[in-house]
Amino acid sequence: MKNNSRILKGLVIHGSRNIMTVRVTTEKGIKELECRIKGKVLKSSENYYNPIAPGDWVNIEWQKEENTAMILSVEDRRNLFRRFNQKESLSQFLAANVDLVLSVCTAISPPFRPRFLDRVLVQADIEGMEAVIICNKIDLEYDDINVDERLEDFKRIGYKVITVSAKTGEGLEALRCEIEGKTSVLTGQSGVGKSSIINALKPDVNIREGAINEKYNRGVHTTTMSFIVDINASTRLIDTPGVRLFIPDGIKAEELIYNMREFAPLAGKCSYGLSCSHKTEAGCKIMEAVNAGVIHEDRYESFLRIREDIEGNISDY
Ligand SMILES: Nc1nc2c(ncn2[C@@H]2O[C@H](COP(=O)(O)OP(=O)(O)OP(=O)(O)O)[C@@H](O)[C@H]2O)c(=O)[nH]1
Ligand SMILES: [Mg+2]
Ligand SMILES: [Zn+2]
């Protein structure tokens, strides 16, 4: 270590794979430093798309005179919100040390995709994080009857659903109460309004929002990396880039049953026990639960497709 360097602990705000912006407190106040990552840290996480995520606490070496900084190590994390990055065939960390996952959708523009919600809820469950569904753009009229029915079913199985409009401000107070004092990560398809929601909660941050591509009725991937926004001293939001496909990460296909809450109590109860494929077998408790309406058939479809994706037969959904 050089004489004029200092070791500081800081919070990762955003970054790409190799350069991260880290917030540190010095005697001159709060500073955001661009940091390279020490080779050893990179090496220890070769099997990941990115070794460090917003929300991580890191130790850095800061060369004040040269104004360079290097991340030396990452503090132990409470948890990590991640997904499987299919293109790179690696785990991708979206946010670290998260209290709450906000699974954001829209009823229209882009169209309602409840199976995307299912996937995010599975990931939250894998990480042991609380999750809430946010349905944005309720100022827009929609005629898809599926929307209310599916949102009701999410409530039935115990999820909180908050309907909001980042545009008119409707529902934002309920959302504010929900996130108060927590670090929450916003996840959802491109264009559902994740960045707009943050802008509505804290107008001075002014994050770039993107238009909806009219031809394809989907977002244009405006946010390109995760980053933290402080709503107040104790409340943080982590914006993430919208992804087209969310593949849960960190479990084996046969474990999925434990991460979908209305499925979990039935694990091992089928006639063929844990070896049941839940597709054709007689005495399958999962299929019985679907027929009895205890498991929504769309959630069952999600279950089958997520399981296939984890096995590597990416199906889209
Ligand atoms: N009508 C209406 N439009 C909204 C609302 N919230 C966001 N939008 C619009 O939806 C578009 C997409 O919003 P963004 O905030 O960029 O969406 P995003 O989820 O951050 O998208 P990515 O960064 O691409 O993942 C923008 O044109 C917003 O103005 C809303 O509540 N109502
Ligand atoms: Mg965005
Ligand atoms: Zn079964």
Please report which ligand is nearest the Cα atom of 198: 1
84 and 206 share a domain? yes
Distances in Å between the Cα of 223 and the Cα atoms of 241, 254, 315 are: 5, 34, 25
85 and 69 share a domain? no
- pTM for this entry: 0.94
**Cβ neighbour number for residue 52 with a 10 Å cutoff:** 25
Radius of gyration of the chain (CA): 21
Atom of ligand 1 nearest to the CA of 208: 16
64 and 96 share a domain? no
116 and 188 share a domain? yes
Chosen domain end from 239, 270, 296: 239
Q: Any bridge partners for residue 185, and if so which?
A: 101, 238
Q: What is the pLDDT of residue 38?
A: 87
CB of 103 sitting under 6 A from ligand 1: no
92 and 162 share a domain? yes
214 and 260 share a domain? no
Is residue 247 in some structural domain?
no
CB of 221 sitting under 6 A from ligand 1: yes
CATH code, domain with 62? 2.40.50.140
Q: For 151-176, how does the pLDDT look when each residue is reduced to its tens digit (9 = 90+)?
A: 999 999 999 999 999 999 999 999 99
46 and 174 share a domain? no
95 and 198 share a domain? yes
Atom of ligand 1 nearest to the CA of 196: 15
103 and 221 share a domain? yes
233 and 123 share a domain? yes
What distance in Å separates the CA atoms of residue 163 and residue 155, rounded to the nearest whole number? 12
22 and 84 share a domain? no
How many separate domains does the chain show? 3
User: How far away, in angstroms, is 106 Cα from ligand 3 center?
Assistant: 32
CB of 190 sitting under 6 A from ligand 1: yes
User: How far away, in angstroms, is 43 Cα from ligand 2 center?
Assistant: 30
**3-state secondary structure labels for all residues of the chain:** CCCCEEEEEEEEEEECCCEEEEEEEECCEEEEEEEEECHHHHHCCCCECCCCCCCCEEEEEEECCCCEEEEEEECCCCCEEEEEECCCCEEEEEEECCCEEEEEEECCCCCCCHHHHHHHHHHHHHHCCEEEEEEECCCCCCCCHHHHHHHHHHHHCCCEEEECCCCCCCCHHHHHHHHCCCEEEEECCCCCCHHHHHHHHCCCCCCCCCCEECCCCEECCCCCCCEEEEEECCEEEEECCCCCCCECCCCCHHHHHHHCCCCHHHCCCCCCHHHCCCCCCCCCHHHHHHHCCCCCHHHHHHHHHHHHHHHCCCCCC
User: How far away, in angstroms, is 219 Cα from ligand 1 center?
Assistant: 8
Per-residue pLDDT 10s for the chain (317 aa) are 556 789 999 999 998 778 899 999 988 899 999 999 988 777 766 777 888 999 999 999 999 888 899 999 999 999 999 999 888 888 899 999 999 999 999 999 999 999 999 999 999 999 999 999 999 999 999 999 999 999 999 999 999 999 999 999 999 999 999 999 999 999 999 999 999 999 999 988 888 888 888 777 788 788 888 899 999 999 999 999 998 899 999 999 999 999 999 999 999 999 999 999 999 999 999 999 999 999 999 999 999 999 999 998 665 54
Is residue 245 in some structural domain?
no
For residue 277, what are the domain limits?
Answer: 253-311
CB of 166 sitting under 6 A from ligand 1: yes
Is residue 91 in some structural domain?
yes
CB of 165 sitting under 6 A from ligand 1: yes
Is residue 132 in some structural domain?
yes
56 and 129 share a domain? no
